[in-house]
Chain A
Amino acid sequence: MSTVDPAQATAQKKLATLIGRATYVLMVVALAGVLVGGQIGRSLDGVVVVTFALVPWLRVLWLVQRWQKIGDKRFALAGMLLIGIALAGVMVSFLVA
């Protein structure tokens, strides 16, 4: 018997649309950064790279709150653990560097 969370399925489609649109916007900003060049271009390019790097983790945060909301606590905990591990990794490399 399947147990897909219908609310999550709907929310996931909205998330897909949001990520899809964000991708196109970021591509346009990246192109603008390349064409403009100089300090402004570099700033735009930096914003694009940082935003792209944040998106996967924002998605995990979104998943954790969805799973928490529907009572899927085991996986919500796993998501939080993953975020904790990643933060610890970045902290360790910061200290080592």
Chain B
Amino acid sequence: MLADLALIALAALTAGVGAIGGLGGAVILVPVLVLSGMPIVEASPLGLISVVAASVAASGRQLRDGTVNHRVGVVAESAATVGAIVGALAVGVVSERLLTWIIAVVIVAAAAMSGRRKGIRWHPDTSLDASAVGEWVGSLNGAYDLNGSVVPYRPRRTVFGVSLMGLAGLVTGLAGVGGGFMKTPIASEVMHLPVKVAAATSTFTIGLTASVALAVTAIRGDIDVNAGALVVLGAATGGLVGARLQRQLSPVVVRRALAALLVVISVVLVVRA
């Protein structure tokens, strides 16, 4: 009973923190479960379940706020999914230890880019009203609400950004980890999406990736659905709370929190290696 409650609490905490930055909580949840003695083959599916549950739970709030850019998400996810499939088929080509170090270095670089930048890139446009909030038809552009002001944005370096998403997918496929910790920084720092839009869009796309990975896992073996239900309870709660918190925090705070989280994740990965 105590172990069940601990699993719910852990899933809630990691999913909540993950939902704020669009990272998914699995990258923290799975190592903690493994360190507590759970075999990796049992912990990994629980991580995927936590990502899907938190992604779905957070989406209600994020859809209402108009922070998810589905068009960016769909285009980026197509590249990431191709990369993930290629990566999953090529598992073993690169040593796990080397791969972990590469990911850790990439994450630290992403954290430095996110944390170093001051202020916000996109500023309120007083000529726009609330009806402009959301994604815009026929393009990757859109606008989001920042404390009652409407802030338009226009993604930059789209081809390069989508290519990096494909590379992120390749790395996640090779390493068997979720890609939120790479997707949010790529969307925010390379494609210049506002960090809240990047995080909400990443939350949407990691739900897609994790559900496919869950289907693959189910094909390859059993999933402990009892433990999965406990994780759902925690992760869905975390996703709901994380999405609400993200709405209330300023973009600068979200970006700094993201940078701090990325550093924590890189440390966890290196310790695990």
Contacts and interface: CB of A to CB of B under 8 A. Distances in A.
Interface of A: 2-6, 8-9, 12-13, 15-17, 19-20, 22-23, 26-27, 30-31, 33-34, 37, 41-42, 44-46, 48-49, 52-57, 59-60, 63, 70, 72, 74-75, 78-79, 81-82, 85-86, 88-90, 92-94, 96-97
B136 A97 contact: no
A2 B85 CA distance: 36
B170 to A, nearest CB: 13
Contacts of A3: 136-139
Interface in B125-174: 128, 131-139, 142-143, 152
Given A5-B137, A23-B60, A30-B229, A56 B211 contact: yes
Contacts, number: 169
Is chain A's interface secondary structure helix, strand, loop, or mixed overall?
helix
A82 B78 contact: yes
Given A3-B137, A19-B60, A78-B74, A88 B232 contact: no
B81 interface: yes
A56 B220 CA distance: 22
Contacts of B63: 12-13, 15-16, 19
A23 to B, nearest CB: 5
Interface in B52-70: 52-53, 55-57, 59-61, 63-64, 66, 70
A65 to B, nearest CB: 13
Given A3-B136, A16-B60, A86 B220 contact: no
Interface in B14-60: 49, 52-53, 55-57, 59-60
Given A56-B56, A89-B85, A49 B211 contact: no
Contacts of B137: 3-5, 8, 70, 72
A26 B232 CA distance: 9
B132 A93 contact: no
A86 B136 contact: no
